[in-house]
Structure 1
């Protein structure tokens, strides 16, 4: 009996200690083949997403920071998502904004697309764009895991998308837990 109580106490203590460990945001990175973009639009090479407690951060690396639109579809599990859009032209100010509805949404539902705070940084030296969406701008901050897809456009149509689709027109990443 004493042994059983000791084992139970040890198990309970371990569960409590592990249960209060700080959460770490999960992230996912996916690569896309270079040279697969159509036309002269942005060629996606690598995308990294981090689902932090206070923000969703997406870094898209392109094969050259060409004049392009980058659209990131953020899809929270079981809810309507948003699209982060950045229109980069190099010779004029970059326009960045949020629209309701992820690519996978059949009908955009409740959305905080009017939410200010989307930050976008293009880096021509590294051929990257980093988008940071405050968590309050996605389902009012009440969401868990997300998945995403990235699309580039060149003014006349789609240029590239990532990740590669298993079926359909545009693929989506694995689910990324919030941390």
Structure 2
């Protein structure tokens, strides 16, 4: 029965990913956390996106109010962005009409105003990506020959393995990434 429901709704054999942004209960996120949230929203491989917290009103509501203020009810790619769609106060009011009780603390409310102000100042929903440093030699320990055909990245969760793998792929599309993060299974690797 569940399989048929998943097939009907297009969820069957789909890859799901999870991004945890640790925000203490009743607190506001940081600007950087909302920037990361916006990067996820702007990445079509990461959508649709589910936003949730413990109760689904405070921390999640703060993130969604920031989204409403910047993009309104449009998808980020559906418009040429020139300025926030609405004020922080309007976004909070709209969100509370849709989900009463959203944004539970004054700190969270103030943060939405702060974030919208930040977006106005930088004239973009997202900060520019930092340029890659130029002229810095790569330090390599050991000897490498020109016939490298396997790179194995080992490390703790969150240590940057997936990022490095993606950056390698950007620089040379001949690489193939085999990752339990992407395959959702250790057996694949």
- Scaled by the length of structure 1, the TM-score of the pair is 0.25
Using CA pairs under 8 Å that are at least 6 residues apart, name the structure with larger relative contact order, 1 or 2: 1
Structure number with higher helix proportion: 2
